[in-house]
Chains A and B, each alone.
Chain A
Amino acid sequence: MKTQRPGYTLERFLGGPVMWTGLVLATLFAMGPFFWVFLASVKTRVELYAAPITYIPTHPTFMNYVDAWTSRLTPFSTFFANSLWVSSVTMVATIVISTLAGYALARFRFVGKNTLMLVFLATQMFPAVLLIAPLLSQWHALGLIDTYQALIYSNFSFTVPFTVWMLVGYFESIPRELEESAMIDGSGRFGALLRIIVPLAAPGIAATAIFAFVSSWSELLFATTFTSRTDMRTLSAGLLYMVGQYEIQWGQLGAGVIISTIPVAILFVFLQKHLIQGLTAGAMKG
């Protein structure tokens, strides 16, 4: 039998029961609120306002989802389509813009390059509320109120600085020789970027893509300020509108919450590895 090291029992205890208890508690805490809202979203009106509270619905129904999706006052189908469009376009445009800029900052010598990097970093620290008033007057002057463009352009203010900052790190980690040999073989710099660098940096680009999509999907203040028509609202703005306008219908609202959560949750499950790598790489670099 192995001689026991000091503290071996304690270690076994920490790695066994303590870890499992912690895991269960943390998971319950993280998921409990989602369960509650999901259960509410499949309850009938009677059960929603029953006293004492019913936790498990006896007659689960998806009527709240149908109502929320087809409602004329708060049409979640429209909100969903708007969110999907705004977030997707923001994501694609952000990637193109940030890949070009990130590559340039990683490879070329510029006057004021360090200052520029500092600007990209500092921009991430700016409060969103700072931009609301000036952007509103700007979009108003350009006639962009109640357009997708206003929301997409505004989203660039937080997606572009962060993704550029993240991608510079990725591109710097790819050896210069790879694209230089491609350039000697006759492709221009842009061709080398597309054929050599982009495939190699794919995990980093995927991470920035998810970041751009998820943060645009969550965006609330721009979406409420720069749209006034119901058919232009995103999910976040639509949910807020729903709360502001009527007595809160928790069943429909619960359905709306679940509808808003599912796409980002799915995206996250599939791509969490990339996202976490990208985020932590960005943060560790500081």
Chain B
Amino acid sequence: MGTQPTSVATPAPRLFLSHATRETIANYMYLLPAALCLGGTVLFPILKAMHMSLYQNVLIRPQDYRFIGLGNYVRLIHDPTFWLSLQNSFVWVFFSVSLQFLFGFLVALVLNGKFFGRAVFRTINLLPWIIPGVVVALIWEYIYQPNYGPLNDLLRRAGLMQVPVAWLSDVDLAMPAVVFTNVWRGIPFFSIMILAGLQAIPAEIYEAATVDGAAVFQRFWHITLPMLRPIIVVATATRIIWTFNYADLIFVMTNGGPANATQITSNYTLMQAYTDLDWGYAATLSVVLLLIMLVFTALYLKISKGVESVAG
């Protein structure tokens, strides 16, 4: 490593820097493009967002632009919609992720079977996850549409419904409807992860257990689940973070409505920026969102390290 052959074409007459130093600099050059990218599109913007959060900055009232210190944060603490959005975020994340996990697990078990055309079935079952969020949102907006949508029609034909329901504009139904959409979209994520985990379990373990007389549910409980634990922890944690941050679906389908019934914190941030044009407060909300995620990420890293040492 230490003796990199010096090129014949460019003899260095005077060595300003030692070999080792030059190599260190050369090594850092590999990182430079990525560092510039992250600096310019992530780290600097985050500092900028923190800076913006200290100002009163409503785009339609430029004359009121001024430094207000932690004023926006004080406002946030007294903003009932923020607390409601946090509560909604919790509901959104909890039901989305737990149902995605449950159905994703079942789909993974089914796709792990041996049958004709398995590759095709796998691809088909993974499709909802790969398409753009706005596409998912529009497909389901159409399905939920009260007059021309198929959901009401199918329920009526099945005799389960008499009066058409406006799924996305009903205060009690809007959240379940968007969560259901998100579940449809997220099932493949869990089935991919769990399927990969299932296939990493050596067949010999099952065979040995079968010989020892373990029945199918016992094998599932005592072999499959423990072996899948690391991947379940990682997949669930990343999914929780991702779902908490994810605003596209709700932004397109309900924009937090009706009457804030689906107002999650990430969408509330967008609404402050786009609808109220209050960029100072939007920045404040996004900084708080970031803090919540950092705390969660720190916890998750701690837990996943624990899992690694147990599993590894």
Contacts and interface: CB of A to CB of B under 8 A. Distances in A.
B235 interface: yes
B134 A97 contact: no
B216 A11 contact: yes
Contact of A19 (B113, B234, B269): B113
Q: Pick from A6, A124, A133, A221 the residue with the most CB of B within 10 Å.
A: A133
A272 interface: yes
B290 A126 contact: yes
A250 B150 contact: no
Given A127-B286, A239-B134, A221 B196 contact: no
B76 interface: no
A34 interface: yes
Contacts of A257: 135, 138-139
A156 B41 contact: yes
Contacts of B247: 127-129, 221
B11 interface: no
Contacts of A123: 38, 42
A53 B148 contact: yes
Interface in B8-51: 26-28, 30-31, 33-35, 37-38, 40-42, 44-46, 48-49
Contacts of A5: 210, 213
A133 B130 contact: no
A261 B128 CA distance: 10
Q: Pick from B45, B107, B215, B241 the residue with the most CB of A within 10 Å.
A: B45
B283 A134 contact: yes
B121 interface: yes
Contact of B216 (A7, A30, A103): A7
Q: Pick from B122, B135, B184, B279 the residue with the most CB of A within 10 Å.
A: B135
B270 interface: yes
A260 interface: yes
Nearest to B152: A53
A15 to B, nearest CB: 6
Interface in B249-266: 251-252, 266
Interface in A221-262: 221, 235-236, 239-240, 243, 250, 253-254, 257, 260-261
Contacts of A235: 132
A218 interface: yes
Given A14-B216, A26-B110, A132-B273, A280 B210 contact: no
Given A30-B127, A126-B290, A133-B283, A96 B5 contact: no
A46 interface: no
Given A110-B27, A119-B38, A129 B286 contact: yes
Interface residues of B, number: 98
Contact of B132 (A34, A130, A260, A286): A260
Interface stretch (A67-75, A181-189, A199-207): A181-189
Interface in A27-41: 27, 29-31, 33-34, 36-37, 40
Given A276-B192, A283-B235, A284-B230, A34 B31 contact: no
Given A53-B153, A133-B286, A125 B293 contact: yes
B131 interface: yes
B294 interface: yes
A283 B236 CA distance: 10
B235 A220 contact: no
B134 A33 contact: no
A134 B52 contact: yes
A286 B6 CA distance: 39
Given A6-B213, A160-B37, A183-B4, A127 B130 contact: no
A130 B40 contact: no
B150 A36 contact: yes
B288 to A, nearest CB: 10
Contact of B4 (A15, A160, A188, A243): A188
List the 5 closest pairs (A to B, CB-CB), nearest first. Answer: A101-B34, A7-B215, A104-B30, A134-B48, A134-B45
Interface of B: 1, 4-5, 7, 26-28, 30-31, 33-35, 37-38, 40-42, 44-46, 48-49, 52, 106-107, 109-111, 113, 115, 121-128, 130-135, 138-140, 142-143, 145, 147-148, 150, 153, 184, 187-188, 192-193, 195-197, 210, 213, 215-216, 230-231, 234-235, 238, 241, 244-245, 247-248, 251-252, 266, 269-270, 273, 279, 282-283, 285-287, 289-290, 293-294, 296-297, 301, 304, 307-308
29 contacts: A5-B213, A10-B216, A14-B216, A27-B124, A30-B128, A36-B143, A52-B153, A100-B31, A101-B33, A120-B38, A125-B294, A126-B245, A127-B244, A129-B247, A131-B46, A134-B45, A156-B37, A157-B37, A157-B42, A188-B7, A189-B26, A220-B133, A236-B132, A239-B138, A250-B145, A250-B148, A260-B131, A264-B130, A268-B123
